[in-house]
Structure 1
Amino acid sequence: MAVRGNLEDSENRHETAGPEKLKQVGRSYPLHDAEAKATGRIRYTGDMSLQGMLCARILFSPLPHARIRRIDAAGALALPGVYGVFTHENTPDVLYNSQVWYAGQEALKDERLFPDTVRYIGDRVAAVVAANEQTAAKALGLIKVDYEELPAVFEAEQALRTDVPVPALAPWASPFFSKEISVGHVDECFEAPDAVVIEDRVETPKIHHAALEPHVCVAYPDHNGKITVLTPCQILYSVRLVVATVLGLPFNKVRVLKTPMGGSFGGKQEVTLEPLAAFFALATGRPVKIQLTRHESIISTRTRTKTIGYVRTAWDKAGNLLARDLKTVIDTGAYTSNGAIIGMAMGKKAFRLYRIPNQRYRTESVHTNTPVAGAARGYGSPQIHAITEINIDHAARRLGIDPVKLRLRNLVRPGDLDAGGGPPLGQAQIIACVAEGAKAFGWAQRRDAPHGTGRFRRGAGMACATHSNGYFGGFQDFTTMTLRMLEDGSMILNSGIQDLGCGTVTSMKQIIAEVMAISPDRIEAPEGDTETSPYDVGSQASRVTHVAGACALHTAGKLKEKLCREAAKLLECAPDEVILQSERIRSAAHPEKDCSYGEMVSLIQEKNRTEIIITETFQAQDNPGSYGADFVEVEVDTWTGLVRVVEVLAVHDVGRAINPGFVRGQIYGGVQMGIGYALTEDIAVDPVSGRAKGDRFSRYHLVNMPDMPPVRVILIEKGGDLGPFGAKSIGEIATCPTAPAVVNAVNQALGTNLETLPLTPERILRALACQ
């Protein structure tokens, strides 16, 4: 990530000082595995080679919708080194949903290992398991498939038409999910004679997560019928649930271990390769690895939903937002995945950013014969904020009010309730984000600067966003941890945490170290293993720091109580007289009775016959909003339609930064993804053939190092919520305000009202030609 010479600026932190003086929390420790990654010593899943391991390759559908009449695998099976060819004819026909994360969760089940009717280009037709990758690839080319082509639908709104045959999409008619949330008297506000009504249709694209590590999985069986799955996943227990369901195994016969991850951004949140690898390993009795190419990852795993948003807002002339009417059409692709949840996730964010007394949100999710959509960084927030923030800037132009002033008039305040019925917003510091950001960015001067009338034109834009801190108020959200102090004073945290490369392991260590007066380096925190780790909901929903971190805090507090209680017996004092400091323990009344943690733990085991260990289950108790505002300056080349982002200022309300370096790192990466979302990234399914145009990096355009602008970061740290030391999430919201801020800056520079993302040169030139 290119962040050019601006680390001093990015250190800006605005805190409300608390009574405690923290020593470990608030420091920028490196990732726990940073050195291993930098030196190449870490073993990613793709690096693993087990004795006797086989390689699996998948044959993907070349057609968007077709019934498989016949598969001839004789040629492939005759090839030396081939251990099996698998199709819908010799694999389980169990239907599942790839996004369920707990047993009993309601979801439409429409996916199986291999279907008899393929629904998109990239659907699974067959797989070869062979001695090596070369043999498997050669065998794929020997499989002959006879298809009966069927009608296909590639556009979400086309799927809603009554003349489209249902079999072209799925067993359910479209929309397969619809919902409405409404408060106040929306229609009356739009009918008011003095209301200024602003309408927009905003469209966001399907995008690829673009993690450096493509999708990969290893599975191996043992002699007792147990299958072990090694996977860089986000939700261990989701993998166990789906694999056990598909294979018909009890949960205790499926073991899932989280391996080091080379990036996910939601792309590895859902279960894709794991049940395949597990089945192949059981069928062959050998370890099996599946590793996709970049092209295969793009077309066959998951994308962000393509979303069409219709938004109407009613304003008075002073700039008060009277009412908003929102409708989203969600393109979930060929299989349901999270299509029944993502639209609601978008809608809930719409009620948590502005004070809108009258609002209606409607959503419809449809199937199309396109790559499957699923979890992606922000889980609906990038889409809904693009829709609403572009509309608010449009309103500012129509009303003749500065966009910052218009937002400040209508944004939520700390302590506000969620008008949509969700949990209270907590210490919502979005006004501080906007006010301090505008000042630091020099908003007034940049906004009033001449745009230029020649080839290059400059503009400034901004946007706001909110995101969640877990599932409280919607789904179950709890986690269990066991913390143990060993005989040398070092510690082990046993939990189900899964580090996505963002610093979860180190953050948990810092929280515990703060409570226990110990160095984080003295704490070991292995990642999750379903056979030995306590249950955790997973690294999703921006819950890890706020909820799992709170569990670490509570568990450490309980361990400290036990250590003091047991030490007091030996020090002959009251527990509240025991002092822990710099990994030593003593009595306040008798400071000469001083020993190391290790010495005390050994004495406790010898004399008190007990162990310093605690297991704690923590249930989330709040779900405040995380908030952010991005300020952007752009330069547009009116001859070519190319946009250069000149500078970005990102201001985020994080409550408390456990590790400021990690927080800034998340924001830099989020800004990079947001710029790509606004300007270049689009899988772009061809409306005639159904083939993805951006199906490899040579055709899918990421924002690379030379294109990155200077990025400044300001952290607002006012605490007050129930996360550890007041901490809130940053990983997902970091990317949410960037794209609409860029679009708003381009529209300000050109005097346009561009509403379809990404703003490709063709779209920009077309808009200029229409002026």
Structure 2
Amino acid sequence: MKNDLKYVGKSIPIHDVKEKVSGKLKYAADMQLPGMLHGKLLLSSVAHGRIKKIDVSKAEALEGVVKIFTHENSPNTLYNSHKWFVGMEITKDERLFTDHVKFVGDRIAAVVAKDRFTAERAVNLIEIGYEELSVVVDPEEAINLEDYYIGQKKIESGSVHDVFSKASIIIEDSVETPKIHHAAMETHVCVASPGIHGDVTVWTPCQVVFQVRLIVAEVLGMPLNKVRAIKASMGGSFGGKGQPVLEPVCAFLAKAMNAPVKLQMDRTESIIGTRTRTATRGTIKTAVSEDGTILGRDIHMLVDTGAYYTNGDAVTMAMAKKAFRLYKIKDQRFVGDVVYTNTPIGGACRGYGSPQIHVLSEINMDNVARRLGMDPAELRLRNLVHPFDKDPINGPDLGNARAIDCVTEGMKVFDWKQKRLRPKTSGRIVRGVGMACATHGNGYHGGYQDFITMSLRMTEDGGVFLNSGIHDLGCGTVMTMKQIVAEVLDVEIDKILAPEGDTLVSPFDVAGTQASRVTFVCGSCAMKVAEQVKEKFIGCASKILQCSPEEVVMEAGEVWSSTSETVKYSYGKMITDIQSKFQDDISVSYTYTSPANPGVYAANFVEVEVDTLTGLVKVLDVLAVHDIGKAINPGFVEGQVQGAIQMGIGFALSEEIKVDRNGKISGDKFSKYHVINAPSMPDVKVLLIEEGEEHGPFGAKSIGEISTCAIAPAIVNAINAALDINITSLPVTPEKIIKALHEK
């Protein structure tokens, strides 16, 4: 790994910072197309039922209403919005509009009107008659019902039965995690416009433009090349816009009306009608020796995928695999049961199952330490994986896994031992510290196909054009790619053009922004294609400079021979000479297939303050330590961690989409769904472990998802340590704390 880097390792602002701070950046919601109509969805108000009557007469009579669509006049094609490549086998149970509603928020109809206000008024005039059916919201009930039970996933290494039959110390916990909302500033929105050749263009703040193209084509029965998906500027996703929710509906409306259509959700609609973090109920048993060595572990997860299948199986398997890649456990079993419920749909949400499995395992690890009378950090150090360990279930190798470094360095910087051993206060306000570890991945290698194609061209004015299907979700993807290319070619950042995904002109990327693959996989492709362009450029330049390729020097936009430094060419002048003399272009298209999927690791240390009278918790201090390989842009990395800590605190303490036994949702707006605001944020310190990773660009690994995986269990552990209780149900609300104190 190079140490004398010029662009990589520098905190350079995001590529569109000026447009954002000046308010000039246009989002999909800002788009105005000639003749554009406005769509508004009607979502179900009951959790389970069949529609017996839809009376749209009053809505149709409203001036400005153009047309109303229901299941009666729209495609009946079954699809699964989780499908992201052709040939993927998956259960299909979604429709554009349904006559069998399965949760409060299910899509029933769409009004198309000349303006948004009229569309909203018209939706409220549609009269629906339901035959209400029995409602199942409890996954424990669903697992015993044939229509609700999806299936089981199981992974085992060694012999768990033998270990537990002989073990003398077994610690068991049951842990519950809720459905949560992604809470991106931008709600769900989409714009679609029909073309004159039977095609349709979709502008969307999505995570995978080629997935949007696939789903729209599949639902509308169109050839792929008749669907163009363009990544719009995005106001946040965190996985919430990872599956096409509005895009197939909006594309259908535009095609049916032969006019551009904008379809936009308000906050309540985004909370109940899009995707949530998958809720879980887990049990875990850990067998240990007296010295704290983990002998075996048995995990069962009950996964509530909500009303539709989407990624229920996939997120369960993601949880399973993470359970085997953090600690050295020879004998371990994971069993996951997946069920439907009449509740909002589960989907991708920052960490893709990792936050849930780590809440389960890391709360349990603290209880193991408590049972043994050990320091929780020391217990983890005894069992954490080592660099270059093998995956016990034959997955991809763990790579340069620096989990131990995260804990040892974090303990020193946080002053863990001194804080943990200070005397407990006995007054109303008490303090406690906690910590937790986590792991995540770097793409799909070892599970799904994972490749991307990029094209890179050096232009006649000394610029560089990187053409790819990248998506910037607000985290700096575009600038990260530019920094990598700039480092290879030694060209100024501002001279690099790197547009986002557009299925008409972008080379194919099979997976887009998923699975924490962007820096590790897409960044590696950018590095490889830049290296190939550099090699071609040097080969041609050496002939013009009349020297060997080894004697060609490229630096700061100029090229020359080391044997004759008096003659220097600008990159642009050399390009035009190459074109003139050789009739060749300095451009390369390259398809990169990820060869590895190493682990990334984190340790979070927190200090909390608890009011034992009210049960209110204040997070005072956070240290987030991350094994990142190499930070391409440290400023972006710290920003990712800061945001992830905010999400994780909410997951631990306050966020929950509440569903009562009748399927009614109470946490459907920000007045009742409580995110952590700026005044409640603690001081967050970030410590990076940069020991490199073989297959990452300049040694880099991922940060976006791992950064939110350890903070929630660390907070719960700190609360439990401070109060000497054992709360294992998230969120840890004041009511739960007071109840636990009374029971104690």
Length-normalised TM-score, structure 2: 0.99
Letter in 2 for 1:235: V
1:331 aligns with 2:304: yes
Could you list the per-position Cα deviations for residues 34-55 of structure 1 after superposition, in whole angstroms to 9, with x for gaps in the alignment? 1100100000111111111111
Instruction: Select 2:38's aligned residue among 29, 51, 55.
Output: 55
Aligned to 1:387: 360
Letter in 2 for 1:201: S
Q: Could you tell me how far 1:587 is from its partner in structure 2? A: 1.0
Aligned to 1:153: 136
> For 1:692 and 1:419, how far apart are their aligned partners in 2?
42
> For 2:674 and 2:75, how far apart are their aligned partners in 1?
38
> For 2:2 and 2:347, how far apart are their aligned partners in 1?
43
Instruction: Select 2:29's aligned residue among 46, 53, 59.
Output: 46
Letter in 1 for 2:62: L
Q: Which runs of 5+ in 2 are unaligned?
A: none
Aligned to 1:492: 465
Secondary structure of residue in 1 paired with 2:276: coil
Q: Do 1:624 and 1:721's aligned partners in 2 also have CA atoms closer than 8 Å?
A: no
> For 1:577 and 1:30, how far apart are their aligned partners in 2?
35
Could you list the per-position Cα deviations for residues 271-316 of structure 1 after superposition, in whole angstroms to 9, with x for gaps in the alignment? 1000010000000011000110000100000000011111000001
> For 1:643 and 1:72, how far apart are their aligned partners in 2?
50
Q: Could you tell me how far 1:589 is from its partner in structure 2? A: 1.7
> For 2:659 and 2:409, how far apart are their aligned partners in 1?
41
Report matched runs for 1:95-174 at 5 Å. Answer: 95-161=78-144, 164=145, 166=146, 173-174=147-148
> For 2:499 and 2:725, how far apart are their aligned partners in 1?
52
Report matched runs for 1:149-298 at 5 Å. Answer: 149-161=132-144, 164=145, 166=146, 173-192=147-166, 195-298=168-271
Letter in 1 for 2:69: F
Secondary structure of residue in 1 paired with 2:566: coil
Q: Could you tell me how far 1:495 is from its partner in structure 2? A: 0.1
Aligned to 2:736: 763
Secondary structure of residue in 1 paired with 2:434: strand
Q: Could you tell me how far 1:80 is from its partner in structure 2? A: 2.1
Length-normalised TM-score, structure 1: 0.96
Instruction: Select 2:578's aligned residue among 604, 607, 614.
Output: 604
Aligned to 1:592: 566
Report matched runs for 1:508-657 at 5 Å. Answer: 508-536=481-509, 537-657=511-631
Q: Could you tell me how far 1:22 is from its partner in structure 2? A: 0.8
Secondary structure of residue in 2 paired with 1:593: strand
Letter in 2 for 1:84: K
Aligned to 2:283: 310
| Segment of structure 1 superposing worse, 569-578 or 556-565 | 569-578
Aligned to 1:690: 663
Could you list the per-position Cα deviations for residues 658-714 of structure 1 after superposition, in whole angstroms to 9, with x for gaps in the alignment? 000000000001111111100000011112x21122100000001100100001110
> For 1:524 and 1:302, how far apart are their aligned partners in 2?
33
Q: Could you tell me how far 1:439 is from its partner in structure 2? A: 0.7
Percent identical: 55
Letter in 1 for 2:150: F
Instruction: Select 2:351's aligned residue among 378, 381, 390.
Output: 378
Aligned to 1:76: 59
Secondary structure of residue in 2 paired with 1:153: coil
> For 1:655 and 1:457, how far apart are their aligned partners in 2?
37
Aligned to 2:699: 726
Instruction: Select 1:415's aligned residue among 367, 388, 396.
Output: 388
Q: Do 2:148 and 2:339's aligned partners in 1 also have CA atoms closer than 8 Å?
A: yes
Secondary structure of residue in 2 paired with 1:257: strand
> For 1:658 and 1:100, how far apart are their aligned partners in 2?
31
Aligned to 1:13: none
Q: Do 1:204 and 1:758's aligned partners in 2 also have CA atoms closer than 8 Å?
A: yes
> For 2:224 and 2:692, how far apart are their aligned partners in 1?
40
Secondary structure of residue in 1 paired with 2:716: helix
> For 1:364 and 1:87, how far apart are their aligned partners in 2?
34
Aligned to 1:33: 16
> For 1:146 and 1:174, how far apart are their aligned partners in 2?
25
Q: Which runs of 5+ in 1 are unaligned?
A: 1-17, 167-172
Q: Do 1:183 and 1:359's aligned partners in 2 also have CA atoms closer than 8 Å?
A: yes
Q: Do 1:206 and 1:682's aligned partners in 2 also have CA atoms closer than 8 Å?
A: yes
Aligned to 2:316: 343
Secondary structure of residue in 1 paired with 2:674: coil
Secondary structure of residue in 2 paired with 1:417: coil
Letter in 1 for 2:243: E
Secondary structure of residue in 2 paired with 1:552: helix
> For 1:451 and 1:702, how far apart are their aligned partners in 2?
30
> For 1:301 and 1:610, how far apart are their aligned partners in 2?
49
Secondary structure of residue in 1 paired with 2:356: helix
Residues 373 and 317 of structure 1: CA distance in aligned 2, closer, same or farther (over 3 Å): same
Q: Could you tell me how far 1:19 is from its partner in structure 2? A: 4.7
> For 2:313 and 2:440, how far apart are their aligned partners in 1?
19
Total equivalences in the alignment? 743
> For 1:754 and 1:399, how far apart are their aligned partners in 2?
19
Q: Do 1:195 and 1:317's aligned partners in 2 also have CA atoms closer than 8 Å?
A: no
Aligned to 1:738: 711
Aligned to 1:456: 429
Q: Could you tell me how far 1:721 is from its partner in structure 2? A: 2.5
Q: Could you tell me how far 1:550 is from its partner in structure 2? A: 0.2
Letter in 1 for 2:202: V
> For 2:356 and 2:123, how far apart are their aligned partners in 1?
38
Letter in 1 for 2:542: A
Q: Could you tell me how far 1:20 is from its partner in structure 2? A: 4.5
Q: Could you tell me how far 1:177 is from its partner in structure 2? A: 2.5
> For 1:195 and 1:589, how far apart are their aligned partners in 2?
75
> For 2:561 and 2:309, how far apart are their aligned partners in 1?
61
Secondary structure of residue in 2 paired with 1:189: helix
> For 1:525 and 1:111, how far apart are their aligned partners in 2?
35
Aligned to 1:8: none
The two structures, once aligned, show a CA RMSD in angstroms of 0.8
> For 1:66 and 1:582, how far apart are their aligned partners in 2?
66
Q: Could you tell me how far 1:75 is from its partner in structure 2? A: 1.9
Greater than 4 Å deviation, 4+ residue runs = none
> For 1:679 and 1:438, how far apart are their aligned partners in 2?
24
Secondary structure of residue in 1 paired with 2:203: strand
> For 1:138 and 1:666, how far apart are their aligned partners in 2?
40
Q: Do 2:608 and 2:715's aligned partners in 1 also have CA atoms closer than 8 Å?
A: yes
Q: Could you tell me how far 1:195 is from its partner in structure 2? A: 2.4
Could you list the per-position Cα deviations for residues 134-155 of structure 1 after superposition, in whole angstroms to 9, with x for gaps in the alignment? 1111211221111100111001
Letter in 2 for 1:701: H
> For 1:131 and 1:40, how far apart are their aligned partners in 2?
27
Q: Do 1:153 and 1:369's aligned partners in 2 also have CA atoms closer than 8 Å?
A: yes
Q: Do 2:77 and 2:219's aligned partners in 1 also have CA atoms closer than 8 Å?
A: yes
